[in-house]
Structure 1
Amino acid sequence: MTSGGLDLSTTTVLLLVVAGFTAGWIDAVVGGGGLVQLPALLLVPGISPVQALATNKLAGIMGTSVAAVTFYRRVGPDLRTAAPMAVCAFGGAVGGAALASRIPAELFTPIILVVLIGVAVWTVARPALGTTSRLRWEGNRHRVTAAAVGLAIGAYDGLLGPGTGTFLVISLVGLLGYAFLPASAIAKIVNFATNAGALVFFVPHGAVLWTLGLVVGAANLCGGYLGARMAVARGSGFVRGVFIVVVSVLIVRLAWQVLAG
């Protein structure tokens, strides 16, 4: 297969399809699929980091769209939270994408690693966290907090990406007070907005490898549909368990990155 001037072997394409499906499933359940999909794209011979990030966004938005629709129909996420969060996340992602080629990821990795370790310890130490929704604030304070979280995480997603859904879920659970299942449902809507915001910048700059992105995106979409249905069927306990696993894997990956670098 040829995409953006890159010649890809059948084996490479098949591996990327598997990575896309896996990433879609992880993203739909709890977020963090970028830790599978983006590194896989970066292994493509001849691809630049910006092309990999842009193509990852195209594939990711296909999966998050079907997951968001599935969650919306079956869970009914709180749009009072999702709407301001998604709007601000969109703007943050546009700004983050504009900086993606200017700021080295190495500056952020150690900080993200420390935050994730704290999140993992906090989640494991509080088994009741996220079992039921108990919102901490109402009205404008709730909406302003949601918008601020959306702006910050949206900027991170446009700039780097991996772990965005995970950060959204833990913010919705730990800061705003949602249970894991409705938090994951809201996170899908916001993650769709961050992917769209990043693409607003990347597409006019010709960074997206369309053929590759659509192939990986089709696999991501299938994984996203399956993951969303499983999350809805099994509830917040299942989502919490997957969350802990994904955070642990992300910690190991980032720790290796820091040590190797």
Structure 2
Amino acid sequence: MNALDWPGFGHVSLAGLLFLCAAAALAGAVDAVVGGGGLIQLPAMLLLAPGGQPVYAMATSKVAAVVGTSAAVRTYTRQTTVDWRAAGPMAAAAFAGAVGGAAFANALPAAVLNAVVFGALLLVGLYTWRKPDLGTAETTRFQRRAEIAVMAVGGAAIGFWDGLAGPGTGAFLVFLLVGVVGFAFLRASATAKIVNVATNLGALLYFIPAGRVLWGLGIVLAVCNVTGAVFGARLAIRKGSGFVRRVFLTVVVALLVSLGWKIAAG
């Protein structure tokens, strides 16, 4: 099918646009529950390569991600409690980390980064799997100031990784809040969405001045991502922390398979 010559669409075909819309909606739903939408949306973008270079796919997918995660945040905050006094500093630290990570995106070989994250995700997945009660209820582990500090430092580190375009950001955020801070999975997922908005905005600040965003395609995909994100957030709220935990483990396994394949392929 002939490529669309609409400005800001990167010469994708109509069939390609419909494929990307479906991927964006599914990614929004998965991302709203527990993170990991990048496993779906970015590979779909890279497959069709709008704009001709991978950087356009990465930058444009961030537009959809920002809008979709913002919609998920709105849904969560209307139906569950979010501790903004703790989530705000964490999001600000993650934003700064993402900007810094984007600036250092080429500092380390991708193979090294993938191997490190593969090992970290394996530990996270095994720890969560071996503790079936983890995240089913709130557990206070720190005094108030210490809790905010841990969330901010962890958010900055994970935000830096997200700026490097690394996979697993959502999974790491949720695990930090559940395994370290002591949140239940549902509350952790809601807080992680707030932080994800900040990290995606930080990455966009790096890409927009460079002219790498295909705005027409990004806006269409954002609408699709929002549809999926609202559905996913409502599903998570209705099903509760047990459901979010199962989706979390599924996403971690999918990330491990994806990274393992990349490492094996060299």
Please indicate the TM-score interval, normalised by the length of the shorter structure. Answer: over 0.9
1:253 is matched with which residue?
258
Task: Sort the Cα spacing of 1:59 and 1:246 in 2 relative to 1 into closer, same or farther, 3 A.
Answer: same
Partners of 2:171 and 2:261 lie apart in 1 by 19
Give the alignment of 1:168-207 within 5 angstroms.
168-207=173-212
Task: Give deviations 1:176-197, integer Å, cap 9, x for gaps.
Answer: 0000000000001000011111
- Separation (CA, whole Å) in 2 of partners of 1:10 and 1:209: 16
Amino acid at match of 1:11: A
User: Please, which runs of 5 or more residues in structure 1 have no aligned partner?
Assistant: none
Residue 159 of structure 1 pairs with residue 164 of structure 2: yes
Question: For residues 67 and 131 of structure 1, what CA distance do their matches in structure 2 show?
Answer: 21
Q: Tell me by how many angstroms 1:10 deviates.
A: 1.3
Show structure 1 runs of 4+ deviating over 6 A.
none
In structure 2, what residue type is equivalent to 1:155? F
Find the counterpart in structure 2 of residue 30 from structure 1. 34
Q: What is aligned with 1:224?
A: 229
Q: How far apart, CA to CA, are the structure 2 residues paired with 1:142 and 1:128? A: 21
Shift of 1:142: 1.0
Do structure 1's residue 10 and structure 2's residue 14 form an aligned pair?
yes
Count of residue pairs the alignment pairs up? 261
Tell me how far apart the structure 1 counterparts of residues 106 and 14 of structure 2 sit (CA, whole Å).
30
Letter in 2 for 1:42: L
What whole-Å deviation, never above 9, does each CA across 1:40-78 have from its counterpart, x for those lacking one? Answer: 111124532222211111110011000001111111211
Specify which of 91, 98, 108 is matched with residue 113 of structure 2. 108
Q: Could you tell which deviates more after superposition, 159-168 or 93-102?
A: 93-102
Q: 1:56 to 1:105 in 2, by over 3 A?
A: farther
% same residue: 50
Moved more, 47-56 or 25-34: 47-56
- Tell me how far apart the structure 1 counterparts of residues 99 and 203 of structure 2 sit (CA, whole Å): 5
Q: Is the 8 A contact 1:38 1:162 kept in 2?
A: no
CA contact (8 A) 2:76 2:233 kept: yes
Q: Tell me the amino acid that sits aligned with residue 21 of structure 1.
A: A
Residues 106 and 25 of structure 1, relative CA distance in 2, 3 Å threshold:
same
- Letter matched to residue 163 of structure 2: G
Query: Scaled by the length of structure 1, what TM-score is found?
Result: 0.96
Matches of 1:80 and 1:106, distance apart in 2:
38
For the aligned residues, what is the CA RMSD? 1.4
Matched ranges for 1:43-62 at <5 A? 43-45=47-49, 46-62=51-67
Distance of 2:108 and 2:222 partners within structure 1: 27
TM-score (norm 2): 0.94
Q: Quick check: 1:85 aligned with 2:90?
A: yes
Q: Determine if contact 2:94/2:156 at 8 Å carries over to the other structure.
A: yes
Contiguous gaps of at least 5 residues in structure 2: none
AA of the residue aligned to 1:24: G
- 1:4 positional shift: 4.4
Residue 69 of structure 1 corresponds to 74
